[in-house]
Structure 1
Amino acid sequence: MLNLSKIQAITLDLDDTLWPVWPTIARAEVVLQDWLALHAPQTALFCAEPGMKQAIRAEIHQRHVDQHHDLSFLRREAIRESLLRAGDAPHLADAAFEVFFTERQNVKLYDGVPQALARLAARYPLVSLSNGNADVFRTEAGPYFQAAVSARTFGVAKPDVRIFHAAAAQLNLPAEAVLHLGDDAMTDVMGAMNAGMQAAWVNTQGHAWPHDSAQPLTVSHLADLCDHLLS
């Protein structure tokens, strides 16, 4: 299903492709709440109210529709809004966000992913391509990557074809020479194919293929794709 002869490099999504994202976010939320309890106790109490954090985030997303590609900005502004409403100093938002962001990089790779990345990196240049705000070079996956492109820094998010073309440009390659791997059927798979790349679906969650188009090469783990690419 892939034309292996054309593939000269690989781009990879991060969250839910290389590691499960929600346990990471949950840990970062706990670390942030603990920090607020020490430095902004009124905000810690405010954020502990049921549904309050979700309501603040929804309001910030609505207020900043032009920043939806930048999850770091949205998170920082949600913290700032919480500080303001609780009566704590809003300038604490930057320090609070850094506490959250540092823990957000403390990801736990799926079993076998380091070995799979090592195999792929020995054959192909790898570039991370993410809508999230993880910094791959601050994770244990970092040594296997040559470059990173993120929606936050580029200014648009997948499935916009421009971000895929930007990743190919990092490699000095045309889009058709790049294979993209990711867990999201729309933003990763369809986005990459619309940009002229080949794509494979790393379906770690066991979802059904949601589109009318033919299902691409699908694996449940990155190691399975290594076997297909490197056999």
Structure 2
Amino acid sequence: MLDLTRIKGISLDLDDTLWPVLPTIERAEKVLHGWLVERAPMSAALFSSPQALQEIRDHMKANRPELKHDLSAIRRESIRLALYRAGENPLLADEAFEVFFAERQRVTLFDDARPALEFLSARFPLACISNGNADVGRVGLGSFFRASISAREFGIGKPDPRIFHAAAGALDLNVEQVLHVGDDATLDALGALNAGMQAAWVNRSEQLWPHQAEPHVTLASLDELCALFR
């Protein structure tokens, strides 16, 4: 059971907790493809081939393991590799990635996200913890968070306990004083439990809990989270 008296700060996941990520990525990929069609059509054709795209992903995984926590670098270098293989200018990769990245930050929040952040940030210091490459400042939510911890910058991703410990430290709190809120049963909820935090699992789609250890609370929405503190 959730112990509200212990909670002095809250950490939150971003993708699929505050906004649905798949539509965002799909739209960003379409914008990138349109840009490539105009400036690097052979590379655009290469990215249109599922087999070629999978081969590029496999190549990156095998040959650039140091980038595994940096989705931005993986995306940028995948574009660079496609440009090279297509016989086009690899130097276009940085500009192409920025086209993708700018669109990736144009998220559509869940209806409960901004009201929840307004409510929670008025009561607790907030941190975000993400394995993805969303930038809360560019998304427009930076003012709600005291700290932003990303796997890309930290070098370690969820569910490793160390990234949760880093978030607690950024809030000047002990891990047992922090409630972590996220949608992923393994990366967020179980990761937080193993790190010594209380865990709130945001289960918007009525999924089954897959682990033996259970979260302290399961929520269908962020509205339900806020209701706990009213």
What TM-score, normalized to structure 1?
0.96
Q: Does 1:49 align with 2:84?
A: no
The aligned amino acid for 1:10 is: I
Shift of 1:147: 1.6
SS at match of 1:51: helix
Could you list the runs of 4 or more consecutive aligned residues of structure 1 that deviate by over 6 angstroms after TM superposition?
A: none
| Alpha carbons 1:132, 1:150 under 8 Å: kept | yes
| Alpha carbons 1:130, 1:149 under 8 Å: kept | yes
Match of 2:59 in 1: 59
Cα deviation, 1:85-104, whole Å, max 9, x if unaligned, reads 11111111111111111111
SS at match of 2:166: helix
Q: Identity, % of aligned pairs?
A: 54
1:6-25 mapped onto 2 (5 Å cutoff) = 6-25=6-25
Match of 1:186 in 2: 186
State the superposition RMSD in angstroms: 1.2
What TM-score, normalized to structure 2?
0.96
Shift of 1:19: 0.4
Cα deviation, 1:199-221, whole Å, max 9, x if unaligned, reads 10011232110012234311121
Match of 2:156 in 1: 156
Match of 1:76 in 2: 76
User: How many angstroms apart in 2 are the aligned matches of 1:194 and 1:211?
Assistant: 12
User: How many angstroms apart in 1 are the aligned matches of 2:54 and 2:165?
Assistant: 34
User: How many angstroms apart in 2 are the aligned matches of 1:54 and 1:109?
Assistant: 30
Match of 1:139 in 2: 139
Shift of 1:45: 1.7
Q: Which moved more, 1:148-157 or 1:106-115?
A: 106-115
User: How many angstroms apart in 2 are the aligned matches of 1:56 and 1:35?
Assistant: 19
Match of 1:174 in 2: 174
User: How many angstroms apart in 2 are the aligned matches of 1:215 and 1:115?
Assistant: 24
| Alpha carbons 1:106, 1:139 under 8 Å: kept | yes
Match of 2:92 in 1: 92
User: How many angstroms apart in 2 are the aligned matches of 1:19 and 1:52?
Assistant: 30
Shift of 1:194: 1.0
Gaps of 5+ in 1: none
SS at match of 1:128: strand
Match of 1:40 in 2: 40
| Alpha carbons 1:9, 1:125 under 8 Å: kept | yes
User: How many angstroms apart in 1 are the aligned matches of 2:213 and 2:102?
Assistant: 40
Q: Which moved more, 1:17-26 or 1:52-61?
A: 52-61
